[in-house]
Amino acid sequence: MKETITIKEIARRLRISPSTVSRALQDNPRISQPTREAVRALAGELKYFPSTTARNLRSGKTGVFAMVLPEIRENFFSEVVNGVEELAFSHQYTVALYQSHDLFEREKQILAVLASNRVDGIMLSVAKESQQFQHVQDLIDRGIPVVLFDRIPPKIEAHQVGCDIEKGAYDATKWLANRGFRRIALLNGPHPLVASEDRYRGYIKALVEEQLPVENALIKRVDLTTEDITEKMTQLLLSANRPDAVLAFNDYVALDAMQICRRQGLRINEDISFVSFANLPLNTYLEHPPLASVEQHPYQIGLKAAEILLSITDPKTDDPDNGFQRVMLEPELIIRKG
């Protein structure tokens, strides 16, 4: 095993002090240009890499941001991760990923581990099962930097980054109404999710403005499993006055619901039409995708969440107001041809 090259070894070979080597590697102007060049040249020749452990001990930081999210396999969350990594890596931070799999107890365990094993900050999107959030408040009370994103629990004062879901649902429902659809169903998510309530409010607001009936029979909540989506979509199709359009919680819900419609012999976007959230790339490969999708800008959400954490942990970009930041991105209704 090759010997690890240290600053002391570089200093010994160049017959200068270790502190001079350290400053030269940081391009400190107090060190002469020839010395800086000599240090960098020898460091490259010896394949020297700075010790992040030593650097972190000096700074009191770990150089690690943690992300806790429901499912990395979901395209939305993988795009959020891409946004976080883009900014975090450029500032020499490592991103550690944890999945709650939408389980409350697992989320609590992960956050407890992160609280005891120091990280410089935590980005959290709460699990579907989570209805109590004292475990999140405890982190904030301990002074651990936390940024809540996308699924943001209510009544918690913390840094937040998301998309205006209520407006997205409102815009999507208005668009359907303006295209002549009169019986617009809502295939919504489960009760605990704040995002479900945001969709509901936007949907209702648009129906009222368009003077369309608000019918409980047209509003179904699903637990986001294929089995439950199948059951609830079948109920909608078997109702006395079948809907002519459906606003779905996201593209995954829409795709499962559309499959049920096909099995019933219905033509998608002719006999019944769909609008959804997420704007998944796979929609471009479908012969009959949803007529439109609400783009929630997950990459930008991740980028902004990382930016906020950096502003808290990096004194160079410290927020002078020292208050909680709340960022809500504008949704965009992506309309497809057809």
Q: Which of 161, 167, 117 lies closest to 139, judged by CA?
A: 117
| CATH code assigned at 194 | 3.40.50.2300
Q: Report how far residue 71's alpha carbon sits from residue 129's, in angstroms, rounded to the nearest whole number.
A: 13
DSSP code string of 232-299: HHHHHHHSSS--SEEEESSHHHHHHHHHHHHHTTPPBTTTBEEEEES--GGGGG-SS--SEEEE--HH
pLDDT single digits (tens) 192-231 = 788 999 999 999 999 999 999 899 999 999 999 999 999 9
What pLDDT, on the 0 to 100 scale, is given for residue 56?
A: 52
Cα separation, 6 vs 147, whole angstroms: 37
Task: Give CA–CA dist 176/292, Å, rounded.
Answer: 9
Does the residue 128 lie in any domain? yes
Clarify whether residues 158 and 305 are in a common domain.
yes
Q: What angle do the packed helices 134-141 and 104-116 form, to 10 degrees? A: 10
Helix (H) or strand (E) holding 99: strand 94-99
Report pLDDT for 60: 53
User: For the whole prediction, is pTM greater than 0.85?
Assistant: no
Query: Quick one: CA dihedral 191, 193, 194, 200, positive or negative?
Result: negative
Classify residue 336: in a domain, yes or no: no
Asked if 336 and 295 touch (Cβ cutoff 8 Å), the reply is no
The answer as to whether 335 is a domain residue is: no
**Does any domain span residue 104?**
yes
Total tally of structural domains belonging to the chain: 3
Does residue 125 share a domain with residue 176? no
Contacts of 9 (CB under 8 A, 6+ apart): 46
Judge if 176 and 256 occupy the same domain: yes
How far is residue 85 from each of residues 67, 93, 261, 308, measured CA to CA in Å?
Answer: 10, 8, 39, 13
CA atoms within 13 A on the CB side of 32: 4
pLDDT the model gives residue 286: 87
Does residue 304 lie within any of the structural domains?
A: yes
| 105 and 214 inside one domain | no
Q: Output the pLDDT for position 76.
A: 94
| Residue 207 forms part of a structural domain | yes
Same domain, 136 and 93: yes
Place of tokens 């919680």: 249
Q: Do residue 32 and residue 134 come from a single domain?
A: no
Instruction: Say if residue 288 is in the same domain as residue 303.
Output: no
Structural domain of 289: 165-295
Query: Do both 142 and 201 map to the same domain?
Result: no
What does the block give as tokens for 111?
């956050």
Distance CA 114, CA 283 (A): 37
> Are residue 173 and residue 236 in the same domain, yes or no?
yes
Q: What is the secondary structure of 311-338 as a DSSP string?
A: HHH-GGG--TT----EEEEPPEEEEPP-
Same domain (yes/no): 120, 15:
no
The reply to whether 24 and 84 lie within a common domain is: no
Amino acid letter for position 233: M
Tokens 């002719």 label which residue? Answer: 270
Domain membership of residue 55 (yes or no) is: no
Asked whether residue 238 falls in the same domain as residue 158, the answer is no
Is 113 domain-assigned?
yes
Rounded average pLDDT per 10-residue block, the chain, 338 residues: 74 90 86 91 84 52 91 94 95 94 96 90 95 93 94 92 98 98 97 90 98 95 96 95 96 96 95 95 88 97 96 64 86 87
